[in-house]
């Protein structure tokens, strides 16, 4: 890896941040330019992250692969901040880029006009998410979290309106308080180990004297709470369904990746810091993760059944998906890791597609148009009149609306409920299969997980069918349903991605097994980070 | 000094938490401010408390025992800037919520008493 290819690791962070700064210089009236530039940026991000995945997967199959380490400012590893692209990070960056591209594509139909500076905030969010996936330093992780949160604060109020402002007030307060917990956790871990580099931490955690171990575990637990809040784990997630329901659809669609950031960090840190071979700290808090995951799944399942709105179903489904992942992480088996990663990708794509399809479906059924709720501007410098100015939708209005919406809706339902033949089924089947094959005797905990997975799928099916009958079968008051191609295309893209996940399940699953193997092999990660050569030095 | 420091952090945290659970938005913001002060002091304490020890190392051969750990101080600076910015942002949303709902209650509506 020489020349400019070496700098590819930092591109998913730098590129959106740079474009975001450039876009700030342009007035809100230069809408076409902003759209083209930001959509182009996300498209380039998809390409870059695909290249990253291809690069780190160079070893193929069961080999742990070689993580690409990027030393910021060319400082040697434990002292400077490092960016690490291993199989897991690269995969997550690809997932966030794909979601970013489709959500932005969808937003261009009309949602980006609902408020000022949409594209800037959107790109900033992507920069923060990618940074959180790529960083190898706990404090840098905090900074990336703040970047993505700051952008999400701006996006959640996009379109203004009373309900959004109210929901955002809770969301922001809650997340600022969580960030403080994050800092306390980081400070405690630093006080005990004297390092913030994840790889260095993984080495030192085995050498922590027994007297300090409790302090370290308390720090890790406080840090963990911060991540569990991000992941939307019950009972820390009461804000989630309401906030996501209040957010504009394309924003809710990209927020689907934000809960996965929390899951990713828990997976990364629990395998690196508390995996096998870390001495007395090994297996820390695994039971807590399992039971918190179960509670979240149960709560999410009940929420799916109880809610009348589709956005509520989607919000609670996000919780179910987080709970499933968390419980599976807590079980800690390597074969399960591959399955849960497959589930992560599939469920994120599916729920994102659902958020996008909800709005046209409800508009089609003559429900109140969400965009109508936009209130008067609160501050003087906001550019208003964008919605009224352009009455005609962009793109061609396509016929057969009901068929397309209905088809997409059924597709989403099958994916979310985990029915064959789509990728949702493969993911759930893989998890259950891993549970059955991992141990000779299946533990009661595994049975609970299996039961909850099946029950939550059933609840999703019931809720989606109910909503589908309500919205798609019932005669509509409005005789002229309108749906533009720009709105359908991104939904189609996401569903195609799920379809590809199903057809290419073999190679994809092989990659996931590579990720799981790399996660289980801590020493490869540690050696790669701590032994990373500085630029201008010969490779040892 | 440790006792005074711990008391300061404790007092700030307790006051901050109390304010955080109050029903008015401004109280919540002030509570978050106090909490972030407490956390900043806590990070500083994570680098061990010492007096008369500079964090910046000069040139030449130096004895590390003469200096205090500079990393927590750098972390505190970052944390201060970030919490300052997010608090400012929260204040803006607070004003917007006040304007839209006509009340400064955190739920956007008064409790029915």
| Sign, Cα dihedral of A495, A497, A498, A503 | positive
Model pLDDT, residue A289: 85
> Is A160 in contact with B96 (Cβ distance < 8 A)?
yes
Conformational region of residue A42, where left means phi above 0, alpha means psi within -120 to 50, and beta covers everything else = alpha
Q: How far apart are CA A406 and CA A419, in angstroms?
A: 17
**A177 has a chain B CB within 8 A of its CB:** yes
- For residue B79, the distance in angstroms to the closest alpha carbon of chain A comes to 8
The answer to whether residue A342 sits within a structural domain is yes
Q: Which residues of A touch B93 (CB under 8 A)?
A: 153, 157, 165, 168-169, 172
Model pLDDT, residue A279: 65
Q: How far apart are CA A512 and CA A95, in angstroms?
A: 13
Q: Is the pLDDT score of A393 beyond 60? A: no
> Is A172 in contact with B90 (Cβ distance < 8 A)?
yes
Q: Which residues of A touch B75 (CB under 8 A)?
A: 139, 186-187, 190
The three-point CA angle B80-B82-B85 to 5° equals 105
Contact (Cβ atoms closer than 8 angstroms) between residue A452 and residue A496: no
Contact (Cβ atoms closer than 8 angstroms) between residue A364 and residue A471: yes
What ipTM score was computed for the predicted complex, to two decimals?
0.92
Model pLDDT, residue A134: 92
> From the list B25, B39, B97, which residue is nearest A183 (CB)?
B39
Q: Could you report the per-residue pLDDT of B12-68, keeping only the tens digit for each? A: 999 999 999 988 888 999 999 999 999 999 998 888 888 877 777 777 777 777 788
Mean pLDDT of A426-455: 82
Model pLDDT, residue A62: 43
> From the list A150, A176, A378, which residue is nearest B32 (CB)?
A176
- For residue B22, the distance in angstroms to the closest alpha carbon of chain A comes to 13
Q: Is the pLDDT score of A377 beyond 70? A: no
**B12 has a chain A CB within 8 A of its CB:** no
Query: In terms of DSSP H, where are the helices of A194-274?
Result: 198-204, 210-231, 240-246, 249-273
How many domains, chain A?
1
If contacts are CB pairs under 8 Å, which of residues 56-85 in chain B contact chain A?
A: 71-72, 75, 78-79, 82-83, 85
Counting every residue written for chain A, the total comes to 540
Mean pLDDT of A469-496: 73
Mean pLDDT of A316-336: 86
Q: Tell me the whole-structure pTM to 2 decimals.
A: 0.89
Model pLDDT, residue A60: 53
Range of the domain at A450: 285-367+394-503
Q: Could you report the per-residue pLDDT of A27-68, keeping only the tens digit for each? A: 777 778 888 888 899 999 999 998 888 888 765 544 556 778
User: Mean pLDDT, chain A, as a whole number?
Assistant: 82
Mean pLDDT of A97-112: 86
**B88 has a chain A CB within 8 A of its CB:** no
What does the block give as tokens for A382? Answer: 């906001």
A68 DSSP β-pair partners: A85
Query: In terms of DSSP H, where are the helices of A5-137?
Result: 11-24, 31-56, 87-108, 118-134
The answer to whether residue A401 sits within a structural domain is yes
Q: Which residues of A touch B37 (CB under 8 A)?
A: none
Which residue does chain B place closest to A171, by CA atoms?
Answer: B90
> Is A169 in contact with B93 (Cβ distance < 8 A)?
yes
Q: How far apart are CA A6 and CA A55, in angstroms?
A: 11
What does the block give as tokens for A179? Answer: 């960030």
Q: How far apart are CA A322 and CA A325, in angstroms?
A: 5
Packing angle, helices B70-101 and B25-46, rounded to 10 = 170
What does the block give as tokens for A367? Answer: 């429900």
The answer to whether residue A258 sits within a structural domain is no
Mean pLDDT of A156-181: 85
Most confident stretch, A51-55, A200-204, B41-45, B105-109:
B41-45
Q: Which residues of B touch A165 (CB under 8 A)?
A: 93, 96-97, 100-101, 108
Mean pLDDT of A77-91: 86
Mean pLDDT of A207-212: 83
DSSP 8-state assignment for residue A473: I
**B97 has a chain A CB within 8 A of its CB:** yes
The answer to whether residue A337 sits within a structural domain is yes
The answer to whether residue A57 sits within a structural domain is no
Q: How far apart are CA A534 and CA A72, in angstroms?
A: 10
Q: How far apart are CA A231 and CA A211, in angstroms?
A: 31
What's the count of helices (H) and strands (E) in chain B, helices before strands? 3, 0
Q: How far apart are CA B64 and CA A194, in angstroms?
A: 14
- For residue A184, the distance in angstroms to the closest alpha carbon of chain B comes to 6
The answer to whether residue A252 sits within a structural domain is no
Q: How far apart are CA B99 and CA A1, in angstroms?
A: 56
A69 DSSP β-pair partners: A84
Q: How far apart are CA A10 and CA A264, in angstroms?
A: 19
Full set of structural domains in chain B with CATH: 2-51+67-101 (1.10.287)
Assign A480 to helix, strand or coil. coil
**Other CB atoms closer than 10 Å to residue B4's CB: what's the count?**
9
Contact (Cβ atoms closer than 8 angstroms) between residue A183 and residue A259: no
Q: Which residues of B touch A156 (CB under 8 A)?
A: none
> Is B95 in contact with A378 (Cβ distance < 8 A)?
yes
- pLDDT band for position A375 (cuts 50, 70, 90): very low
Q: How far apart are CA A459 and CA A300, in angstroms?
A: 10
Residue A239: partners with Cβ closer than 8 Å, 6 or more residues away: A167, A170, A171, A174
Q: How far apart are CA A176 and CA B35, in angstroms?
A: 10
The answer to whether residue A140 sits within a structural domain is no
**B87 has a chain A CB within 8 A of its CB:** yes
The answer to whether residue A226 sits within a structural domain is no
**B42 has a chain A CB within 8 A of its CB:** yes
Q: Is the pLDDT score of A311 beyond 60? A: yes
Q: How far apart are CA A330 and CA A343, in angstroms?
A: 15
Model pLDDT, residue A384: 47
Assign A360 to helix, strand or coil. helix
> Is A150 in contact with B86 (Cβ distance < 8 A)?
yes
Q: Is the pLDDT score of B99 beyond 90? A: no
Q: How far apart are CA A33 and CA A28, in angstroms?
A: 10
């Amino acid at each position: 890896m020489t020349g400019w290819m070496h700098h590819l690791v930092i591109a998913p962070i730098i590129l959106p941040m740079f474009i975001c700064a450039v876009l700030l210089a342009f007035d809100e009236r230069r809408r076409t330019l902003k759209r083209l530039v930001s959509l182009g940026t996300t498209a380039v991000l998809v390409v870059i992250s695909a290249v990253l995945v291809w690069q780190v997967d160079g070893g193929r199959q069961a080999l742990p692969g070689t993580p690409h380490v990027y030393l910021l400012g060319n400082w040697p590893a434990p002292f400077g901040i490092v960016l690490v692209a291993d199989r897991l990070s690269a995969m997550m960056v690809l997932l966030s880029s794909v979601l970013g591209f489709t959500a932005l594509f969808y937003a261009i139909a009309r949602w980006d006009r609902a408020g000022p500076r949409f594209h800037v905030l959107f790109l900033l969010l992507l920069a923060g998410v990618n940074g959180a996936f790529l960083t190898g330093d706990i404090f840098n992780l905090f900074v990336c979290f703040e970047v993505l949160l700051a952008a999400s604060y701006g996006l959640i109020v996009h379109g203004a309106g009373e309900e959004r402002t109210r929901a955002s007030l809770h969301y922001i307060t809650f997340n600022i308080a969580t960030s403080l917990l994050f800092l306390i956790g980081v400070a405690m871990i630093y006080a005990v180990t004297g390092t913030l580099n994840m790889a260095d931490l993984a080495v030192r955690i085995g050498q922590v004297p027994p007297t300090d171990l409790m302090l370290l575990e308390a720090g890790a637990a406080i840090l963990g709470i911060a991540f569990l809040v991000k992941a939307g784990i019950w009972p820390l997630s009461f804000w989630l369904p309401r906030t996501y329901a209040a957010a504009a659809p394309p924003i809710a669609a990209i927020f689907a990746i934000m809960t996965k950031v929390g899951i990713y960090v828990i997976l990364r840190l629990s395998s690196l810091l508390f995996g096998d071979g870390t001495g007395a700290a090994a297996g820390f808090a695994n039971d807590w993760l399992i039971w918190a995951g179960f509670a979240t799944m149960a709560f999410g399942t009940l929420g799916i059944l109880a809610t009348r709105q589709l956005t509520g179903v989607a919000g609670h489904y996000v919780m179910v998906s987080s709970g499933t992942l968390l419980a599976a992480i807590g079980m800690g088996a390597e074969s399960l890791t591959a399955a849960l990663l497959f589930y992560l990708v599939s469920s994120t794509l599916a729920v994102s597609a659902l958020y996008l399809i909800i709005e046209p479906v409800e508009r089609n059924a003559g429900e109140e148009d969400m965009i109508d709720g936009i209130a008067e501007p609160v501050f003087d410098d906001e550019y208003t009149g964008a919605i009224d100015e352009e009455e005609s939708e962009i793109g061609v209005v396509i016929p057969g609306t009901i068929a397309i919406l209905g088809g997409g809706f059924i597709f989403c339902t099958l994916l979310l409920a985990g029915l064959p033949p789509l990728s949702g089924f493969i993911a759930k089947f893989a998890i259950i299969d891993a549970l059955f094959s991992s141990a000779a005797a299946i533990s009661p905990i595994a049975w609970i997980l299996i039961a909850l997975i099946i029950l939550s799928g059933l609840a999703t099916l019931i809720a989606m069918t109910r909503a589908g009958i309500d919205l798609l079968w019932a005669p509509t008051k409005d005789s002229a349903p309108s749906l533009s191609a720009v709105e359908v295309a991104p939904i189609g893209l996401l569903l195609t991605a799920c379809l590809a996940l199903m057809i290419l399940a073999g190679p994809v699953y092989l990659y996931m097994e590579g990720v799981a193997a790399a996660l289980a092999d801590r020493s490869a990660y540690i050696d790669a980070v701590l032994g990373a050569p500085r630029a201008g030095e010969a490779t040892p | 000094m440790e006792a005074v420091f711990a008391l300061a952090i404790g007092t700030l945290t307790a006051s901050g938490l109390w304010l955080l659970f109050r029903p008015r938005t401004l109280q919540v913001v002030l509570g978050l401010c106090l909490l972030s002060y407490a956390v900043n002091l806590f990070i500083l304490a994570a680098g061990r408390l010492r007096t008369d020890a500079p964090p910046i190392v000069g040139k030449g051969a130096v004895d590390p025992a003469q200096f205090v750990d500079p990393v927590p101080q750098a972390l505190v600076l970052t944390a201060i800037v970030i919490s300052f910015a997010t608090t400012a942002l929260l204040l803006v949303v607070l004003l917007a919520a006040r304007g839209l709902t006509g009340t400064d209650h955190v739920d956007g509506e008064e409790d029915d008493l």
